[in-house]
Structure 1
Amino acid sequence: MNSSNRLGSGLMLQLLMLTALGITSSQGLSEEYLKDIKADQVAEQASGSYNYDQQGNDWEGTCQDGQQQSPVSLTSSAAIVTAIPRIYFYNYDQNLESPLILTNNGNTANMVLPPTQNGQRAYINGGLLPGTFEAQSVHFHWGSASSKGSEHTINSERYDVEMHIVHKNIRYQTVSEASAYADGLAVLGVMFRAVNRIFSLHSGLIRIFNQLPQIVEYESSTEVTGRLTVQQLLGNIKTGEFYSYNGSLTTPDCAESVTWTVFKDVVDLPERQIMKLWELKDSRSQPLTNNYRTLQDINDRPVYYTAQ
C-alpha cells in the first residue's frame, strides 16, 4: 500500500469513528486520541448492560463477592492519620490537545483525555500510589433534584457531585489491561457542591458543563473546544489534604485494581450548572439521575488521611 492509500484509509477510519460518535468534524482530532476513544467505548461495552435502579446492589460477580469494593465512607475519626507524601502532578498545567470529546455513554458524562499539546500525557505519582499513573479519562457521578449523588461520603456527608479522574499505571498498555492488576489504576475523587451563585471562576469545568445539553441523548457526543488543562478540573482545591485506600472501580466489573485518592476539599459550582447533569438520559431513555453506587463494607482495610 502506498502512502496516499494509507492516508486515505486513515481518513476513512477517522470518519467512520466520528460518525459513530455523532461528531461531524475531524478537525484537530489526532489518530491517537480517536483510538483512545474507541478503546474506551470497547471497555464500556465489555462491562455489559447495567443501571442504577438499585444503586448497584443487583450487580453480580466481583461487584457482589469482592472484599475490596468502592465507594466507602471516609471519616477522620476512623482513618489512620499519617504523613503520606504529597501527590505530585506533572503536565497537569499543560493544555490538552483540542478539541476534546464529551460523551453520554448511558451511565455518565465521560471525556477521554488526550495527551497535552507538548505530546506528553498528564501524570501523577507520590501519595500511596504504587508507581506512575497517566491520566486517561474523567467522568461524573451525581444525584437529582431531591438528592445528592457523590459516591464516597466524607465525615458522613454526601456531596452533590463526585468527579473521577481515572489514571492507569504506565506499566500497562491500556486501562482494560491495567484493571486486571492490583496496582493497575489510580483514581482521583473530587467533590462538587452546588451553590446559589451565577458565575464561577472554574472556567475549565464550566466549559465542560456548558456542553452537557448537547449530550442529553444516550450515545451522543459533542466537542469541548478551547484551552483546557487537567489542572483546571481540580478547581482550586487543596491537594495536600486527602484520604487514600485500596479499592475498586465503582462500576461493573468492579475490578479491585484502584488506589483511591479522595480529596477532602470541595469545588463550589453554580447549581444551575450541576442541574444540567439531571437532564441526561440513559440507554432506556430514562432520566440518568442518582448514578452513584451504594457504600461498600470497608472489611478492615486501612484508610489513610493526611493534611499538608
Structure 2
Amino acid sequence: MMTNNGHTANIVLPLTNNGQRAFIEGGLLPGTFEAQSVHFHWGSANSRGSEHLINGQRYDVEMHIVHKNVRYATVAEASLRSDGLAVLGVMLQAVPSLISTHFGLNRILDRLPQVIEYQSSTSIAGRLTMNDLLGDSSTGRFYSYNGSLTTPDCAESVTWTVFSDSVKLPRRQIAKFWDLLDERSLPLINNYRNPQEINGRPVFQRTLI
C-alpha cells in the first residue's frame, strides 16, 4: 500500500510469500534488519532532491528502503536505539528516454497519480522483489556510515548504506512526484533535507573490482 502522508509517498512493505520479511545483514550492520517501508525524497522541475551527494553530484530522487533491527518490536522503539535502523539509499536519475526496463520501479511510479491528494492511498498489484526496487544498481558498490534519520527528530539511529550507482528512469516518470500535494493542498516538492556536516564520522566505501 502506498500513501501520500503529506511529506512523501510512503509504501508499507508486506510480508513475503513465505510469511517472513526481506532482511539484510553483514557489513557494518550490527545485526539482522527486516524491511519495513519505502519512501522517496525529490526536488521539482527546477531542482534535484536527493539527500546524499555522490562525488558532489545530487540526483533527482532518493529512495529510502527502511529496515528495523529484529531485536526491537517496532520502528518507533528502534529509532530510539543507536543500532535500531538501517536504511538503503538508492539514487534515481531522470533521463530523456521514453523506454525503461525497470518494471518494478515503474509499477510504483505509475501509481503516483492515485496518491496526489493528501492521505490518499493506492495498492501496488503484483509481485515486487527487493531486486525490483534496486533496479540495475550494483549492490557491491556502496558507501556506509552511522548517521541519523533525515526527518524530525533526526534520531541518530541509522546505519546508512548508499549505493554508488544511480537508477536511470524516464523524466516523465520522475515528474509524477511533482504533482503530489501536501496537507495544505500545496505542491509537495523539495521534500529533502540538505546535506549535513560529517562531524568526524567515518564513511566507508566498498567497490567491487
On whether the aligned pair clears a TM of 0.5, the verdict is: yes
Structure 2: give runs of 5+ residues left out of the alignment: none
Q: CA RMSD in A?
A: 0.6
- Separation (CA, whole Å) in 2 of partners of 1:132 and 1:301: 22
Counting only pairs closer than 5 Å after superposition, residues 63-212 of structure 1 correspond to structure 2 as: 101-212=1-112
Partner of 1:266: 166
Residue type of the partner of 1:109? A
Structure with greater Cα Rg? 1
- Separation (CA, whole Å) in 2 of partners of 1:259 and 1:139: 17
User: Structure 1-normalised TM-score?
Assistant: 0.67
| SS of corresponding position for 2:123 | strand
| SS of corresponding position for 2:18 | coil
| SS of corresponding position for 2:163 | strand
Partner of 1:277: 177
| From 101, 114, 122, the counterpart of 1:222 | 122
Deviations along 1:169-214, whole A, 9 cap, x unmatched? 0000110000000000000000010011112111111111000001
| Structure with the bigger percentage of strand | 2
| SS of corresponding position for 1:214 | helix
Residue type of the partner of 1:140? F
Structure 1: give runs of 5+ residues left out of the alignment: 1-100
Deviations along 1:40-93, whole A, 9 cap, x unmatched? xxxxxxxxxxxxxxxxxxxxxxxxxxxxxxxxxxxxxxxxxxxxxxxxxxxxxx
% identity of equivalent residues = 69
- Separation (CA, whole Å) in 2 of partners of 1:199 and 1:228: 20
Deviations along 1:229-249, whole A, 9 cap, x unmatched? 122000011111111011000
Q: Which runs of 4+ in 1 moved over 4 A?
A: none
- Separation (CA, whole Å) in 2 of partners of 1:299 and 1:291: 23
Count residues in correspondence: 208
- Separation (CA, whole Å) in 2 of partners of 1:107 and 1:178: 21
User: Structure 2-normalised TM-score?
Assistant: 0.98
